[in-house]
Structure 1
Amino acid sequence: MATYKKRGYKAKEVNIDSTDEVEFNEQDSTTAEVFSTLDEGANKTEEWVSKNQNYILGVIGAIAVGVLGYLAYDQFVKKPQEADAGNEMYYAMQYFNEALQNPVAQDSLYNLALKGGNGKYGLIDVIDNYGGTESANLASYAAGMSYLNTQKYQEAIDYLNDYTAHDAITDAIAKGGIGDAFMQLNQPEDALGYYEKALSANTNEYSTPMFLQKAGIVALELNKNDAALKYFERIKVEFAKSPEASLVDAYIAMAKNK
């Protein structure tokens, strides 16, 4: 008796008579070929793994080290760094907030916010020493607004452009601030573009009518009267109770008759 046997499969016995011819049907032949191909493929895979096991283990090890490294960085570097940045920024933000509420001493307070005082970090120090932290990101916003209010317009543009907003309100104000800086630099086309970005960032009762009015005035200056009219009419229709609405009829007449 002859036995046809492949690994992992039940042996199939075929009785062979010395005087008879053994005939395998087509299905038996095809099955044998498939088994043979699978075995050859498995053997080649085993050979490749055997030859390259050090490389494979190295890749797995590198992935593991990378994951552990990220977790360690997050736990032992990033979080403490965020905490340190927040602590260092505390006094600078106090000066910034005081400047917003004290028009008389604004310039000196904004400068203290930017450069620090009494041995404490200013906003620029936080940005330079804690780049990549959320505190440094917020410091970019405060620094940009501080420079805008102390008539240093290019610096205002640079720092406000570095700010990545995580809320729609500050996003709108930052973009509008860049528009204000460009207007002061006599670049109305750029200013209008940023006022439009500010309007797209968020709609609210405070900043939206303000930037609609600014966008309309700049559009008038650029002889874009139809665009100006649309901005002013939005104030009249959507923000009738805003301070900007008190002058909107005059602006609408100007846009229609210019």
Structure 2
Amino acid sequence: MATYKKRGYKPKSQKEKEENIEEGSTTAEVFNTLDESASKTEEWVVKNQNLIFGIVGLAAVIVLGIMGYNRFIAEPNAKEAMNEMTTAQEFFDEAMTNTTQKDSLLNLSLTGANGKYGMLDIIEEYGSTPAGNLANYYAGTAYLNMNKYQEAITYLSDFSSDDIMLSAISKGAIGDAFVQLDQKEEGLEYYEKAIKANANEFTTPMYLMKAARTAMDLGDNEKALKYLVRIKEEFSTSTEAAQVDVLIGKAEASL
């Protein structure tokens, strides 16, 4: 058991003297080891100082480069892309309300007019900007409305969004395109992705119904019934709920 020794304490016995010498030697060894390690570290730093300064300098250049790129290239490009996109978006919005000229307006939205960019130009010129990403959504939706389903899938698949509503709608639109191509397994998969993307009163019952009908077409009435019951229990005020009892009866009869 270790004992506390007062300051100025002098060892009385030979044993205590030996213990003091041993403790002193151990302490000296520790400090010597630390000194040696510090010396080696200093030597290494001196020997490799050019490498160290080079790494620090490179890191500084990279950070400054990123900051400069964002400020002087990325941000101005993003703003320019949004401005260029205005006309194409106007054509798209008009097409959604003008049924008689819908296809021609959607085509103008895609290819542009009067020297203004279309969505496809925005994607090509500003693909890495937020506007370029959003242009994929508009282009995919335009192709879907023009019954060009493979093109719709291509562009909608390139779109991504943190907006949970828009994310759900884009996945549901891919599901619609696959169903129209008679690839119902893939269509059901994307309807299910749209359901999981965001629970809300608008898109969720819509894609639950589409998933249920597609599952029934595939002969998976158990899965269809699960989706139909969810509409009845969770979205009883939705438009889809008005049809749900009849479909539940059909699904149950087929089990």
Same fold (TM over 0.5): yes
Q: Which residue of 1 aligns with 2:7?
A: none
Q: Which residue of 1 aligns with 2:192?
A: 196
- Equivalent pairs, count: 237
In 2: Cα distance, 1:35 partner to 1:111 partner: 81
**Are residues 1:78 and 2:90 paired?**
no
Query: CA RMSD of the aligned region, Å?
Result: 1.4
Q: 1:109 aligns with which of 105, 110, 119?
A: 105
Q: Which residue of 2 aligns with 1:251?
A: 247
| Partner amino acid, structure 2, of 1:43 | S
In 2: Cα distance, 1:61 partner to 1:81 partner: 28
Q: Which residue of 1 aligns with 2:224?
A: 228
In 2: Cα distance, 1:250 partner to 1:28 partner: 93
Q: 1:58 aligns with which of 31, 54, 58?
A: 54
Q: Which residue of 2 aligns with 1:69?
A: 65
Q: 1:90 aligns with which of 86, 89, 107?
A: 86
Q: Which residue of 2 aligns with 1:242?
A: 238
Note closer, same or farther for the CA distance 1:243–1:104 as it changes in structure 2 (3 Å cut): farther
2:188 alignment partner, SS class: helix
1:205 alignment partner, SS class: coil
| Partner amino acid, structure 2, of 1:244 | E
Q: 1:34 aligns with which of 15, 30, 37?
A: 30
1:178 alignment partner, SS class: helix
In 2: Cα distance, 1:139 partner to 1:150 partner: 16
1:137 alignment partner, SS class: helix
1:55 alignment partner, SS class: helix
Q: Which moved more, 1:176-185 or 1:239-248?
A: 239-248
Q: Which residue of 2 aligns with 1:216?
A: 212
| Partner amino acid, structure 2, of 1:96 | F
Runs of 5+ in structure 2 lacking a partner?
Answer: 1-16
In 1: Cα distance, 2:241 partner to 2:101 partner: 31
Q: 1:140 aligns with which of 120, 136, 140?
A: 136
| Partner amino acid, structure 2, of 1:164 | S
TM-score relative to the length of structure 1: 0.88
Q: Which residue of 2 aligns with 1:5?
A: none
In 1: Cα distance, 2:22 partner to 2:52 partner: 41
| Partner amino acid, structure 2, of 1:121 | Y
| Partner amino acid, structure 1, of 2:157 | N
In 1: Cα distance, 2:23 partner to 2:203 partner: 79
Q: Which residue of 2 aligns with 1:169?
A: 165
| Partner amino acid, structure 1, of 2:78 | E
In 1: Cα distance, 2:166 partner to 2:99 partner: 21
In 2: Cα distance, 1:212 partner to 1:81 partner: 40
**Are residues 1:156 and 2:180 paired?**
no
In 1: Cα distance, 2:196 partner to 2:99 partner: 30
2:36 alignment partner, SS class: helix
In 2: Cα distance, 1:247 partner to 1:183 partner: 21
| Partner amino acid, structure 1, of 2:172 | G
In 2: Cα distance, 1:31 partner to 1:121 partner: 78
| Partner amino acid, structure 2, of 1:64 | A
1:172 positional shift: 0.7
Listed one character per residue, the Cα deviations across residues 4-39 of structure 1 (whole Å, up to 9, x for unaligned) are xxxxxxxxxxxxxxxxxx977111111211121112
Moved over 4 A (4+): none
In 2: Cα distance, 1:73 partner to 1:231 partner: 48
| Partner amino acid, structure 1, of 2:242 | S
1:246 positional shift: 2.2
TM-score relative to the length of structure 2: 0.89
| Partner amino acid, structure 2, of 1:100 | M
1:234 positional shift: 1.9
